[in-house]
Structure 1
Amino acid sequence: MTAHTETTKTLKRDKAMTRTIEDVNPGELIIAANVRTETKVGADFVANIRLNGVILPILAERTAEGLLEVIDGQRRTIAAVEAGLTSVPVFVVGDSGDNAARLLTQVTVNDQREGLDEAEHVAAFQQLSLFGVSAADIARKTGTKTTRVQKALDVAANPAAAAVFADHVLTLDQVAALVDFSDDPDAVKTLTKAAAKEPARFDHLVADLHLKRELAAHIEQLRTELVAEGVTILTESLNHYSGTAEGDPAVTRLDRLALPETPTIPLTHDNIPTAHLAGRITGNYSHPTSGYGKWAEIYYFILTEHAHHYTPLEYARPTTERTPEQQTDHDNRIAAQLAEQTHRAALAAAETVRVDWLNTFFQRAKRPAPWEFIARSLTYSGELSNGEEFPPTLLPWIGVHVVVEPASNEHFEAAQLARGHLSENPKTSERLILALVIYNNETNVASSWHQNIRQAAAYLTQLVTWGYGLSEVEQGIVDAAKAEQVSA
């Protein structure tokens, strides 16, 4: 082991540690803990090292015993040994005496080069945690967000998630989502498959599985309540009036019966013996926070064998049997209602995922140019044009010189022309947006009954800066807005 006579540089970092470049026999180097999960070297790599030698120095630290432990360059070291080299350049630093420090250096060096993959980051963070380094310190020393470090540690601590990470190419965020479902092999299989084949649907599947898990827990909670009440439990159903399932006892609806002393008031489950009651849990995927429908519920019935204790409700609707055609219509209506509920629930779940994605989108340092999208959206919304899609009078403003005849659909036709013009001339997006904004301001100025005077004044003032001269009445609007602002 010899130090370079021409290239040796001793860099004083502090009194206890120096750095040197030395020629070292690769067989004398010790390969210690490594953040790389894959350190195998191929024949081509060995042949390259045999032909060209090790060009980039291996990074190693000298231990208290005088040995050299490789921090970065494990593959180069192995290849040099296999290639039969007797000397390789090694950048040597003093002993830190700290396994955690060595791992942190490896993470930093690899990230500065080609970067560790996410599985390797998880393994490295787990090792650092086992060495006693906190998530906050790992984050600070590796330039990683603390939340991401903690997510990696959560994945590493979960055997099912860690196994998926080892066997499949998933992102850390995807594997972290599996942690919540590690006790459900079917869910893990579904999500793993989606991550590989339909990654765009992954977050939606996670949200749906969470929703179904919440519903199952709510249903179980209601079932526990029924057991505690001593109520006969009927087969679960999506629809509370879906008939009697096979094996269930015969039941009668509460709203068809009344107490003899109050024949005009329908029964409620809280004023009759629980031994007379049956309960059916209904569950659909309409979450209570979505603003419609209900979560799982208990619907109570009278066991028909006890119905003789009660009297038919007076003024109740006829209870005649439905004809087959009426029953079919009824079943179709119920099916349509359930389909609509399911559709709305799916929309609500998708909205949650979409809003989360948008929150991330708006945190990007650089986003795609939005002007064509904004312009096209404004031709649909009518927000700036009195609820109409696109005013025909604006077509010349954006360079479309086509006469649209007055008709009930003139705004629709004008909007189609505007969108077609945008597709062919996307650089006119700013012009279209400006035209709609000016139209909105013009509408406001022209409205003597509902004029927003501050908006009108700001608009007219802007026109002045562009070279327009105000009339007396327009100047009066600007002056009035100033006076209103002063008095406020």
Structure 2
Amino acid sequence: MAQHSSTIEAGTGATVAYLDADPCILLVDVNVRTQVRLDKEFVASVKAQGVLVPIVAVRTTEGALRVRYGHRRTLAAIETGRETVPVIVAADESTDDAGQIDRLVGQYAENEHRTGLTVAEKVGVVEQLSAFGVSHAQISKRLGIKRDTVKDALAVAASPIAKKAAERYEATLTLDQAAVVAEFDALADEDTVKALLVDANTGGRQFAHIAQRARDERAEQERRQEFIASLGGVPIVERPSYRNDEPVKRLGRLLDQQGEPLTVETHAACLGHAAYVDKRTAWVPAPRPESDTTGEQGGQDTEDDDNALGATDLDLDPDAEDALYDDDEDDYPEDEQDGSWEETWEAEYVCTDPSRYGHTARYGGSSEAAPLKAAEMSEEQREEAREARRTVIANNKAWDSATTVRQEWLTGWLTRKSAPKGSGLFLAAAVASGSHALTQAFERNHPTGRVLLGLGEATSARIGAGQALAGLLSDVSEARAQVVTLGLVLGAHEAALGRHSWRNVDSGTRRYLTFLAENGYGLSDVERLACGEHPLPEVDEPDAA
């Protein structure tokens, strides 16, 4: 019931009453909205701040108050236990046709023509609250937003470029994207900042992929520098070529003045002592039953090593292959269904001028390394093979970054309450195909599916896995149970993917990635290759902020 009230005369001569009323007595039965959607953030705001904008009501012929504008505010107040809400009683209710027309038009306008704060405006609010000394926790509580949102807003506020971008690209740049721009601005990574803004301005489909690739490349360089620092000050040079006129030679191809093979220890005092650094990547398979065989997706490489590495159709002899591909970046396993890639850095020691420092060739009578059969190739053939190799390395790195983005997207997407349209057809096709990926996931109690559904690290261990999945399905709706089922099947497909996927296109991979794309995931260029597509052409770059 009403606590207290006051009346004022409107310009039309009608009397308008202002009162504090119990929200439970207000009628909310007449509204153009068929469903009143109360999101968590809105309810949290009403709980913390109360109803800030008065509810507009009309008085019925029976003397009750019927809400005209403010149904969501009323229901949120009831849900949060507010004792009173501010109400403006604008007029007596009119039930004739003209009155109903006015109500419909007014409620449509009140619900339809609304504009929330822009990203830049939200950043400004959080920035000012922080300047007043309000803690992150209090900003989160009082604004009804997540702490991560507060953190993102303050990061944007601290970056002039990100702040300007939020203003300039307000229609396309989200707050979390602006925070990513701020992340790379703080690292003085101008190229990545520009690439992110270009993508955001053209739809943002590659935004997460661009950011993750940049993070991975930076992390790789940091690991490289840490490894170099561990070498104790040995001069670092670029990797030498295998050309006969290359002055820098590997120690393994040289002899000392006594005719003995050079070693790192015996060469350490030489003024030409140096090293180049290479990354080695090896596949470490997980233990698996002997009965496991490869299947439709993620199966055994069927091509020979040359083609599996993305090489050309050149008929290369072993020495030529060693010269062109002396990099263990792609020691692909016969079966990548389960296991992990492990990377290490290695130093290859060299002498920068063997002739000057008295070394001779181990395989010949001069300091020149023995002629390689690769030297018999034409320069055009050499460059063709080198380009193929560069493509393989670049696409492998792009695939690793895309995997991180894809799995993060899946983890968030699978928190939904119901499966999207088209899920039934996707699930039916997956089951009907009888793919090895799905069979293997069932046998191992869905290790990847459990991760995507938030149940822990990926593992093939079966102990407790079934109970965890059963617990996930307890007390859930029919719609949510369908999402869990979808998550397990998606996890099976995801587990079958690997660096081989962009090279060996199969129907299972194509069906899986296409389904993700249809539901809002932005495929990277390398994932498009896995679908049998060519990457999209580059777009013209607008001026970055």
TM-score (norm 1): 0.48
Higher relative contact order (CA 8 A, sep 6+): 2
Q: State the structure with more CA Rg.
A: 1
Taking structure 2 as the reference length, what is the TM-score of the superposition?
Answer: 0.44
By percentage of residues, which structure has more helix?
1
